[in-house]
Chains A and B, each alone.
Chain A
Amino acid sequence: MVLLQVDHISKHYEKDKPVLSDISLHVQQGEFISIIGPSGAGKSTFLRCINRMIDISSGEIHFDGTNMMALNKRNLRKNRTKIGMIFQHYNLVSRLTVIENVLHGRLGYKSTFQGVLSLFKEEEKREAFHLLEKLGMAEHAYKRCDQLSGGQKQRVGIARALIQSPKLLLCDEPIASLDPSSSKIIMDHLKEISTEMNITCIVNLHQVDVAKKYSDRIIGLNAGEIVYNGAPKDLLEREIREIYGANAAHLMMK
């Protein structure tokens, strides 16, 4: 089943300077996709176009049977709850506790009144603890987020995205600020989420080897265009050079 259908989208802030040009992509439910490419290729912009954090200049995006471009503000909010997002810098409210941050993921389902007064249902709280348990973070539930390590913060970020009960996870360089062992934990969790919970993951990555290890499919982006779209095993030296440009010989890779 096609979950996300991106057709010929373009984005430019200034004329003649496209950040994304004519990108089309069909994503199946439960698929794990990595997007690789040099800095400034438009990876982050592309992810944010999918949940309309950034509005595209032209093209169409269909997600879970709805035309994302036609949504008004209220329905956009409703649809965003079905798309979780994970960030390089975790973007947690550091003065609040872990559990409070996780419950922020439920705000999309709340009215203004319920949200402002933090009226969360018991089952939502139970689900939050359940998710933290699953991610190995239950013992830290009442700690303030500024006391956590990077890997722990990212797991809170994942819990916050999962409590939305999303169909799609957008991960914007989730391991770019993490050490190798934390990176592995995070990537393993993401992989597990896509296989066991059947949630589609689209992950921006800088590490080609990580992308090859975890992905079902790899997208190569260069200067706002898709230059590679295929299986990890077909991603060889020549393709990598095409994605990263002439300097690929200097790429630090195994």
Chain B
Amino acid sequence: MTIAKDHHVPRFKQTNAGKIKIKTWGKRQVVMFTTFLALFLLTVYGFLTFDYKGISFVQAVTDTIYNVKVMFFQPAMSHFTFGEALGQVGVTIGLGILSTIIGAIISLFLALFAAKNLSSKTVSSAIIIVITFIRAVPTVLWVLIFAIAAGLGSEAVIIGMTFHSIAFLVKAYSEAFEEIDEGVLEALRAGGANWWHIVTHAVIPSTTSSLLSWTFLRFETNFTVAVAMGAAAGAGGIGFELLMASNFYFDLREVGFITYLILIVAIAFELLSTQLKKRFLSGTSMS
């Protein structure tokens, strides 16, 4: 064994008991440990000092279980027909599609200028900073901000969701563009092609499939956001029905029905997107 040669300086650390340590306590570990300990103690303290306002814990749990049971095991419609429900889902899907498509078109152009290999450093950094800021603020807030000008309703929701979609898609698209083989761009440039030629003949064709799958992913997100926005910002659609059923009629069975409906639609989109991915990305690596 060659290791034995320089044995006079042991490289391993030992515990007091003489066992070899395999973990060392760096600054990182200390910070992590202190944080966890503090959170744990706060949680225990919190539970000990809750003001339960006379609610019986057992009663609360049984009631909740009963509610959940009614919601999910006895779903029913009482304020609309199945056809109307589907129509409302259609409205929600429409909100999702519209904001995704408008967002995707604007993002495509912005992303070209945000990609470091296609744009100048200043322009790219400027776009990325703005985009990061927009993305950091939740969609709901953007909707409420635009509601000041557009009024609560579908207009504000579309603008707000489009805004956030752009922030998301520009990042996704520009990263896809940045992964393009630099040599291809060089080859076209060496042949005398200009920037727009390179974009349309090399950049877009090489990234179509990943652009499409990012867009569809965003559509799935926008659908679920549109459900919430229907309730929160009065954009209509199935989300609004959900709000009415739960807060206005206190109809738990209807809440259950709507939840299942949304779930089914979401699963359908998920399946569709896997199918699309299989079809468009098969054979070629999604590099």
Contact = CB atoms under 8 A, between A and B. Distances in A.
Interface residues of B, number: 21
B184 A91 contact: yes
B61 to A, nearest CB: 57
B195 to A, nearest CB: 8
Contact of B191 (A80, A96, A146): A80
B137 interface: no
A164 B187 contact: no
Contacts of A157: 187
Contacts, number: 85
Given A91-B181, A116-B196, A146-B284, A108 B191 contact: yes
A85 interface: yes
Interface residues of A, number: 34
Nearest to B190: A85
Contacts of A53: 186, 189-190
A160 interface: yes
A81 B169 CA distance: 36
B208 interface: yes
A93 interface: yes
Contact of B193 (A107, A146, A161): A107
A128 B205 CA distance: 20
Nearest to A115: B197
A78 B208 CA distance: 30
A112 B194 contact: yes
A116 B197 contact: yes
A206 interface: no
A61 interface: no
Contacts of B208: 95
A82 to B, nearest CB: 9
Nearest to B180: A93
Nearest to B207: A95
Contact of A105 (B184, B191, B196, B206): B191
Interface of A: 51, 53, 77-78, 80-81, 83-85, 87, 89, 91-96, 100, 104-105, 107-110, 112, 115-116, 118, 146, 157, 160-161, 164, 170
